[in-house]
Amino acid sequence: MNTFSIEGKVMVITGGTNGIGRGLVDYFTEQGVTVIAIGSREETVQKLRDDYARSGRTIDARVLDVRKVPGIAPVFDKIAQDYGRIDVLINCAGMGHPIPAIEVTQEDWDTMMDLNLRGAFFCSQAAARHMLKEKSGHIVNITSQISLVANEGETVYCASKGGMNQMTRVLALEWGAQGVIVNAVAPTFTYTPGTAEHLDQPEFRASVLARIPRGELGTIDDIASAVHYLVSGHADMASGSILVIDGGWTSV
């Protein structure tokens, strides 16, 4: 008997067409979860649909640029209307690239903050409006180990992910007593098509591994398993928690 079964839950995953988000979509569909994948562009959303169709499966994938706040609530309202509820939201839409602090422009700042932090907040708000009516729901924000420690050249990214951590705590405080559990997962460097450009460079990869006591990069399964635990119903006392999946990076 699988006491951690989440089969049948209705889960929205933002950033679900690429990278970690795509990996989470694949993982949770295999768990029998009804997944609604959110992507910012029609072409990536259609590619996800096509990929699933080629394997004889279907996926509900919808277009939403979470930087455009007025469009968020209508999409979540339609999902709740179509499925009767929203059980889980995974805020995975995000971006990051190194920019020396002295070179950061207002556009750099706004672009990353709008996607990583503002978008996550307003998606959480839109989902919570439905979860609070049911007095039940889980929200998991995908942050980063460098939301907790400094990383050179990552001022904007670190600030946006650190903001997500604090947002997680406040939302857990406001909504926890009403049945909506909010947590975050903070992974280390994880190998995906988006990170391959850097992690395939031997010098960069070695510098990363040298800071991870386990000596390994993170995997999609590492992150997915942590999220699974948090939304399983067996972790509801972990409310406002930042679950760090970093192989020990932040412990030294």
Q: Which are the catalytic amino acids?
A: 157
CA-based nearest residue to 181, from 134, 147, 223, 246? 134
* SS3 call for 129: helix
Please report, in angstroms and rounded to a whole number, the separation of the first and last CA atoms in the chain: 38
Q: Which residues, at least 6 apart from 168, have a Cβ–Cβ distance to it below 8 Å?
A: 141, 143, 182, 183, 184, 240, 242
Residue at token pair 């679950």:
243
* SS3 call for 65: coil
Sheet with 137-142, strands from edge to edge, namely 60-63, 34-39, 10-14, 88-91, 137-142, 180-187, 242-245
Strand pairing category for 88-91 and 10-14:
parallel
- Residue 7 phi, psi dihedral angles, 5° rounding: -55, 135
